[in-house]
Structure 1
Amino acid sequence: MFMNILHFYQVDSESLKFQKITDTSMVNATKGLFISCDVPMAQFIINLNSTLPASQKFIIHILDSTHMFVQPHAAEMIRSAVSDFRDQNSYEKPA
């Protein structure tokens, strides 16, 4: 007989350790995007989020200094802001 066994884990944001959830009667799931980037870019995204009103904040959870979980509707806004930031901070050699 074949059985599917699912194990659910939660991340302790303080210690970054995974803890197995034994009571699976109530599991909260949130759809989102996982972002992995370097520390300066993560700080830029966190700052971008902090400048928005509470109703428009998009960061669901900051996992560590280079990883975060954000709402999926914010993907294009984040890409656009990062692109603009890079364009403003790029050196172009004078002709």
Structure 2
Amino acid sequence: MAQYIINMNASLRASDEFIIHKLDSTHIFDQPHVEQMIRSQIAKFREDNTYVNPN
């Protein structure tokens, strides 16, 4: 998920970027006001990429 969040951050204008520091490959220090936006985008990503058996 860290790479997804990094890509999400990179798609924004420089003034809207929210990542303060990449700590390592799995941890990111970000602006506190974007927590809910990140959580909702991850939930949407997971929902869009969940296999549903067509039966």
Alignment gaps of 5+ in structure 1:
1-40
Kindly, what percent of the aligned residue pairs are identical?
Answer: 58
- The TM-score with structure 2 as length reference comes to 0.94
- Distance in 2, matches of 1:49 and 1:84, equals 16
Decide which structure has greater helix share: 2
SS in structure 1 opposite 2:23?
strand
* Residue of 10, 22, 25 corresponding to 1:62: 22
- The TM-score with structure 1 as length reference comes to 0.56
Q: What is the aligned length? A: 55
CA-CA distance at 1:71 after TM superposition = 0.2
Shift >2 Å, 4+ stretches? none
Decide which structure has greater strand share: 1
Larger Rg: 1
Partner of 2:12: 52
RMSD between aligned alpha carbons?
A: 0.7
Aligned amino acid, residue 61 of structure 1: H
Structure of higher RCO (CA pairs closer than 8 Å, 6+ residues apart): 2
